């Protein structure tokens, strides 16, 4: 096996976040399920945006947030995602490259605009996302560069990729290349509604060993196994995938490997502002711990620290150096 | 005099802010004068942006920030500024309208893109701005609608309008219409380098009574009168304009009307994050006090409160209802 050029390569829907603080009645009026991600078309996007207040724009996208978090820890990173070569696409490409991430996916010159996620942040800090995939729906297998995938120790994929028609083929192609090169493949389940849409396929990805590591939050895990009993679901996960990591918000996380379970507490915060990116940055910290062979306990602590940073401000990208933050907390970087 | 439809109408350079946290050495390396606004062309903008880190985008523009602040206090407001009908222009128009501001300036369909200000925020919270005017440089007298100007109690103009070639003609046209309709005209001096560029013209605007109210910060006032003695400069301002308001950061502000001076303290803050928009929001609060006939003391307190809100987060637009904030502080709204 040749030495890896990248610690982690992530593939996901490239989305520009349009964030607005709002009250709960906005969600009720628009029939939005609080805390979830709903796919919307261009007309719905226009209608929701027209009714939204003054916004803040920050590059986002689940796997992209994770990879930027990894870069902030000091990992060597690359990202694959589809934007258009429009104004928003240029902002997007700038931000991910400015974070130190290699980003070479050819932008679309025709077709829909760069995708946007319209995110409502309620006073309790919870985020509710409405995603117009735009150019992200045109990620195709040809966007997967074999040499680049083979050069990454871990390929990280988001469950949201199951939504755009050809992205799942790109996902499977990447997984095959990675395993052929002796690399590992990680998947986040992304969202409980996403799990509802693709439950059988996600379980098959795990049981067929197409993925080696699963990230899920509690509600996604419950959705996956259609049970309200956490311990039952966690045990099932341990049997279905080589390594499972389940986040439980302020209750910390559980790492399951076969019959073995490691529990790690959450990091303390001063003020919850916006949960956007919490799971993404958790995954960044955990993957960074794996890359550094820091052990599950330390990986969980790095994960909790990164998640705690991102939920204390608006937007899903870290605002400080996660490497310095980890050092301040005496964690291995 | 017919009743005013708007309390305040503002005219300014419509600019989308691209904000990045950076260290001081970035400013030194690029030869930027800390705390100032420098005009840059498209090539310079591209070079600076390429070297900048991950950004946050929020609609800005000095007078636009002021008018959004006034709307947040509950004033009836309108804005005149030139954007292009591109993606960023659409974000810009959404934000100002979502704030409750009437915005009817026809966007450009050709020519340069919507203007952007690349803002570096250093660890001390100071902001250094690099402005690519873009479409804003094409604001022309034809963009000034006589009936709309005449319908506003106060027309508020930014000194930055002296930079684009035809905007000053638009400015003068608006002032003439406003005075013809028995309204007041206010001007912010904007930036000490801007004052250096247009000192004689700004003094002439005051002495010819083209403007009735001047907003300035300490360094702009010193630049205007080319003196380092504050009292001398303040006294001169009192003679040159009907009403002068000078901000002094944490030392509060001085309101000068002829020989009479009113001093108002600054509002306390917990943490200085980003001074972008401090002067703009100060002007919003003061103008709101004038509109409500609250007296200079209360106007100064409303101004200080709005400035304190905006410097405690990234971006130059208020993140809470200034009306509610003022009510919480027992100030008249």
Q: Which of B26, B57, B83, B318 should one mutate to test binding to chain A, selecting the residue with the greatest count of A CBs within 10 A?
A: B57
What was the pLDDT predicted at B313?
Answer: 95
Measured CA to CA in angstroms, residue A62 lies from A7, A170, A198, A300 at distances of: 18, 17, 18, 19
Pick from B21, B87, B94: which is nearest to A319 by CB? B21
Q: Of B47, B54, B90, B91, which to mutate for an interface test with A (greatest number of A Cβ within 10 Å)?
A: B54
Residue B54 to residue A21, Cβ atoms within 8 A: no
pLDDT digits (tens, 9 = 90+) for B233-254: 999 999 999 999 999 999 999 9
Triad A283, A289, A290: Cα angle to 5°: 90
Question: What interhelical angle do B295-310 and B62-73 show, nearest 10?
Answer: 110
Q: Which residues pair with A134 in a beta bridge?
A: A114
Q: Going by DSSP bridges, is the β-strand pair A102-103/A213-217 parallel, antiparallel, or unpaired?
A: unpaired
CA A183 to chain B, closest CA, distance in angstroms equals 30
List all residues 6 or more positions away from A276 whose beta carbon is below 8 Å from its beta carbon. Answer: A17, A19, A60, A119, A121, A127, A129, A310, A314, A315, A316
Q: Which helix (H) or strand (E) holds A57?
A: strand A56-59
CB A158 within 8 A of CB A295: no
pLDDT at site A243 = 98
Question: What does the mean pLDDT of chain B come to?
Answer: 97
Contact A276, A19 (CB under 8 A): yes
Task: Give the integer Cα–Cα distance in Å for B234 and B167.
Answer: 28
> Which residues share a beta bridge with B131?
B39, B117
The answer to whether residue B23 sits within a structural domain is: no
Q: What is the pLDDT of residues B200-215, one digit of tens each?
A: 999 999 999 999 999 9
- Chain A residue with CA closest to B95: the answer is A54
CB B96 within 8 A of CB B66: no
Strand partners, A18: A57, A118
List the single best residue of A21, A26, A46, A54 to mutate versus B (max B Cβ within 10 A).
A54
Sign of the C-alpha dihedral computed for residues A58, A188, A155 and A204 taken in this order: negative
pLDDT tens digits along B251-265: 999 999 999 999 999
Domain-located, residue A117? no
Q: What is the pLDDT along chain A (333 residues), one digit of tens a residue?
A: 788 999 999 999 999 999 999 999 999 999 999 999 999 999 999 999 999 999 999 999 999 999 999 999 999 999 999 999 999 999 999 999 999 999 999 999 999 999 999 999 999 999 999 999 999 999 999 999 999 999 999 999 999 999 998 999 999 999 999 999 999 999 999 999 999 999 999 999 999 999 999 999 999 999 999 999 999 999 999 999 999 999 999 999 999 999 999 999 999 999 999 999 999 999 999 999 999 999 999 999 999 999 999 999 999 999 999 999 999 999 999
User: Which of B133, B118, B132 has the alpha carbon at shortest distance from A91?
Assistant: B118
| Of the candidates A229, A221, A174, A231, the residue with the CA atom closest to the CA atom of residue A199 | A221
How far apart are alpha carbons A161 and A148 in whole angstroms? 19
Q: Tell me if A122 is assigned to some domain.
A: no
* Domain residue limits at B306: 6-14+61-112+138-328
Q: How many residues does chain A have?
A: 333
Residue with tokens 């910060």: B217
Domain count, chain A: 1
**Distance separating alpha carbons of residues A192 and A216, to the nearest angstrom:** 9
Nearest to A52 among B53, B56, B98 (CB): B98
Partnered with residue B11 across adjacent β-strands are: B80, B157
Residue B69 has pLDDT above 80, yes or no: yes
Give residue B153's pLDDT band: very low, low, confident or very high (50, 70, 90).
very high
Residue A178 Cα, gap to closest chain B Cα (Å): 29
Cβ neighbours of residue B208 under 8 Å, at least 6 residues apart?
A: none
Closest CB from B53, B56, B113 relative to A315: B56
- The complex's ipTM works out to 0.94
CATH code of residue B99: 3.40.1190.20
User: Looking at beta carbons, which residues of chain B come within 8 Å of A319?
Assistant: 21
Name chain A contacts of B68, Cβ cutoff 8 Å: 54
Interatomic CA distance for residues B288 and B7, integer angstroms:
8
Give the 3-state DSSP-derived string for B58-85, with helices as H, strands as E and coil as C.
EECCHHHHHHHHHHHHCCCEEEECCCEC
Contact between B94 and A59 using a beta-carbon 8 Å cutoff = no
Asked whether residue B121 is domain-assigned, the answer is no
Q: Which residue has the tokens 């803040």?
A: A56
Cβ distance A49 to B94 less than 8 Å, yes or no, reads yes
C-alpha distances in angstroms, B308 versus A99, A136, B225?
31, 40, 28
The number of beta carbons lying within 10 Å of the beta carbon of residue B228 is 8
Site of tokens 């027309």: B155
Distance, in angstroms, between A269 CA and closest chain B CA? Answer: 17
Residue with token string 């939050």: A217
- Pick the residue with more confidence: A165 or B280? B280
Q: Please check whether residue B19 lies inside any domain of the structure.
A: no
The model's pTM: 0.96
Nearest CA distance, A243 vs chain B (angstrom)? 32
Helices A230-240 + A218-225 axis angle, to 10 = 80
Position B282 scores a pLDDT of 98
**Which positions in chain B touch A52 (Cβ < 8 Å)?**
94, 98
- pLDDT for B165 equals 85
Q: Is residue B157 included in any domain, yes or no?
A: yes
The pLDDT score that the predictor gives to residue B2 is 82
Q: Which of helix, strand or coil describes residue A179?
A: helix
Cβ–Cβ below 8 Å for A55 and B91: yes
Yes or no, beta carbons of B52 and A317 under 8 Å apart: no
Q: How confident is the model at residue B1, as a pLDDT?
A: 72
For Cα atoms A30, A36, A39, give the angle at the middle one, nearest 5 degrees: 70
Residue B89 lies in a domain: yes
Beta strands B16-21; B37-39: pairing state: unpaired
Give the helix ranges, DSSP H, for A106-258: 146-150, 167-180, 192-207, 218-225, 230-240
Q: Do B54 and A50 touch (CB under 8 A)?
A: no
Determine the distance in angstroms separating the CA of A56 from the nearest CA of chain B, rounded to an integer: 5
H or E segment and range at residue A17? strand A16-21
User: Residue A132 forms beta bridges with which residues?
Assistant: A116
B102-103 sheet: strands from edge to edge: B102-103, B77-80, B6-11, B152-158, B184-188, B213-217, B243-247, B253-257, B260-264
Angstroms from B320 CA to nearest CA on chain A: 9
Q: With respect to residue A190, please indicate whether it lies within any of the assigned structural domains.
A: yes
């Amino acid at each position: 096996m040749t030495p890896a050029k990248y610690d982690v390569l992530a593939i996901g829907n490239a989305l520009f976040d349009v964030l607005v603080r709002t009250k709960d009645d906005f969600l009720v009026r628009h029939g939005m399920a609080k805390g979830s991600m709903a796919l919307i078309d261009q007309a719905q996007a226009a209608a929701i945006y027209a009714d939204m207040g003054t916004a803040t724009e920050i590059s986002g996208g689940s796997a992209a947030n994770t990879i930027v978090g990894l870069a902030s820890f000091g990992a060597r990173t690359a990202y694959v995602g589809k934007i258009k070569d429009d104004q928003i696409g240029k902002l997007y490409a700038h931000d991910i490259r400015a974070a130190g991430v290699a980003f070479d996916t050819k932008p679309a010159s025709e077709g829909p605009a760069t995708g946007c996620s319209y995110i409502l942040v309620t006073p309790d800090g919870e985020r509710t996302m409405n995603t117009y995939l735009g150019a992200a729906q045109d990620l195709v297998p040809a966007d997967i560069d074999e040499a680049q995938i083979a050069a990454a120790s871990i390929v990280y994929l988001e469950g949201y990729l199951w939504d755009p028609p050809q992205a799942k083929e790109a996902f499977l192609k990447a997984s095959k290349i990675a395993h052929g090169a002796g690399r590992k493949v990680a998947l986040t389940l992304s969202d409980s509604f996403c799990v509802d849409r693709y439950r059988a396929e996600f379980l098959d990805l795990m049981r067929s060993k197409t993925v080696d590591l699963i990230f899920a939050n509690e509600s996604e895990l419950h959705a996956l196994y259609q049970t309200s009993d956490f311990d039952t679901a966690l045990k099932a996960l341990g049997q279905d995938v080589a390594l499972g990591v389940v986040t439980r918000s302020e209750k910390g996380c559980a790492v399951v490997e076969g019959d073995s379970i490691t529990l790690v507490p959450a990091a303390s915060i001063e003020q919850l502002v916006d949960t956007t990116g919490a799971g993404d940055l958790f995954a960044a910290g955990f993957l960074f711990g794996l890359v550094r062979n820091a052990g599950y306990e330390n990986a969980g602590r790095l994960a909790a620290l990164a998640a705690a940073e991102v939920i204390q401000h608006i937007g899903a990208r870290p605002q400080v150096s996660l490497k310095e933050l980890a050092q301040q907390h005496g964690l291995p970087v």
